[in-house]
Amino acid sequence: MVTTRSRGVDKAADTKRAASAQPEADDADAPRPSKSAKHEEPASDGKPEAADDEPEEAADRPDVGAKADDGDEAEATLEHGHVHFMMRPRIDHEDNIESLDDIAKLDMVLLPSTKKPAYRIISVGQKRMAEPGEGDSKSGREHKPMWSAVFGVGDDLSEIATKLGPKTYSTKTKGERTQPGARPAASGSYSIHYSPGDVPSRTTTHFAYVLSEPVDLGEVQEGLGIHQEASYLLQVKDPRQDGPPRGSLKPEQRADYPDDLLELFSTKYRAAKPTTLLDYQGAELLLVAERENASHAVGDEEAKADEDEARKIKRHAVYDELRLRSKDFPVTALEGDWQ
């Protein structure tokens, strides 16, 4: 079952340009849109992890993300749910966060509302979201892709606290060190939308979100590249192929897809349809910022549904939804100011 809608000629044209444009330099096969994107550091700390309850609220919009084929050529909303942005401070900066320089990484926690897995944790490259229209002075590109990777997937929400919590380890030179736990930076609703094309390179998926919290964005959200709403071209990389040196996981860290999903890759990058491509530890993603609004990518109807869902999210819902304790995951950043 799919949710279909019509969109204007200008939007359809934008989508075709988005899918067909190709970046130079680091990776000539990677797609980029006509008006945005950002190249990033390695998507995670280099070691994606596995993970595992279903979000409490299931919306009434249908989900077609689990189909492992591209046979249905209607525009469709493949998935929707809640998203939480979590930032992790650098070592020794837990109580002194003054800017992005004091942040070690940024994660997006996705809670799909109509299917398992219960959650995915996506590590965002270069610890900030890509900005629309942000160029790359080194390569001369007009836009830069944002490399990310899935490092946590599972059906048990109680595992999130362990994955995002403090981590203690020993070093030869400085002894025992503690990596601070992640802090909530923003929350809202998201959707993944599918737009068919006449050839695989013009078939696209788009990730869009609308925030519920904070209502008034501050310097924290600005530094992390988080807007009140935004949309991104979303692509998944074939794990059998290498990406740019600074934006790809090692072969042994990449997603171990079953044969039926591997067979879907006829090019180095493909649309995230089915969304089960996102359900594997080490799945490498390319996110290209399109616009500072959700309707551009997913259509007015779906953007309105995301806004309505965002309004239902209670203040500081991150604690209930992710099974976190406030004393372990301070909410200061949701007020908009660096500590």
138-155 pLDDT, tens digit each = 544 555 678 999 999 999
Q: What is the DSSP letter of 69?
A: S
CA distance 238 to 270: 8
27-86 pLDDT, tens digit each = 545 444 433 333 333 334 443 333 333 333 333 343 444 444 454 568 888 999 999 999
CA distance 73 to 199: 11
User: Can you give the pTM of this predicted structure?
Assistant: 0.74
CA distance 119 to 96: 30
Hey, which residues does 103 pair with through a beta bridge?
89
CB-side neighbour CA atoms (13 Å) of 113: 23
**Per-residue confidence (pLDDT) for residue 27, from 0 to 100:** 52
**Per-residue confidence (pLDDT) for residue 307, from 0 to 100:** 72
**Per-residue confidence (pLDDT) for residue 24, from 0 to 100:** 36
> In this structure, are residues 193 and 298 in contact, taking their beta carbons and an 8 Å threshold?
yes
**Per-residue confidence (pLDDT) for residue 38, from 0 to 100:** 35
Of 68, 54, 56, 62, nearest to 80 by C-alpha is 62
Output the CA torsion sign for 224, 227, 228, 231. negative
Angle, CA 337 vertex, CA 234 and CA 247 arms, to 5°: 30
Helices vs. strands in the chain: H and E counts, helices first: 6, 11
Angle, CA 319 vertex, CA 148 and CA 94 arms, to 5°: 65
Q: Please, which residues have CB within 8 angstroms of residue 263's CB and are 6 or more apart in sequence?
A: none
HEC profile for 209-260?
A: EEEEECCCCCHHHHHHCCCCEEEEEEEEECCCCCCCCCCCCCHHHCCCCCHH
Look at the block and give the residue holding tokens 């009434």: 60
> In this structure, are residues 117 and 159 in contact, taking their beta carbons and an 8 Å threshold?
no
> In this structure, are residues 155 and 165 in contact, taking their beta carbons and an 8 Å threshold?
no
**Per-residue confidence (pLDDT) for residue 82, from 0 to 100:** 94
Per-residue pLDDT of the chain (339 residues; tens, 9 = 90+): 334 333 333 444 444 434 433 333 345 454 444 333 333 333 344 433 333 333 333 333 434 444 444 545 688 889 999 999 999 998 877 777 889 999 999 999 999 987 789 999 999 988 999 887 665 555 445 556 789 999 999 999 999 999 999 888 777 787 788 888 899 999 999 999 998 888 777 889 999 999 999 989 999 999 999 999 988 999 999 999 998 877 789 999 999 999 999 999 999 999 999 999 999 999 999 999 886 666 555 566 766 676 777 666 777 788 888 888 887 888 788 888 886
Residue 84 CB neighbour total at 10 angstroms = 27
Task: Retrieve residue 8's tokens.
Answer: 């204007």
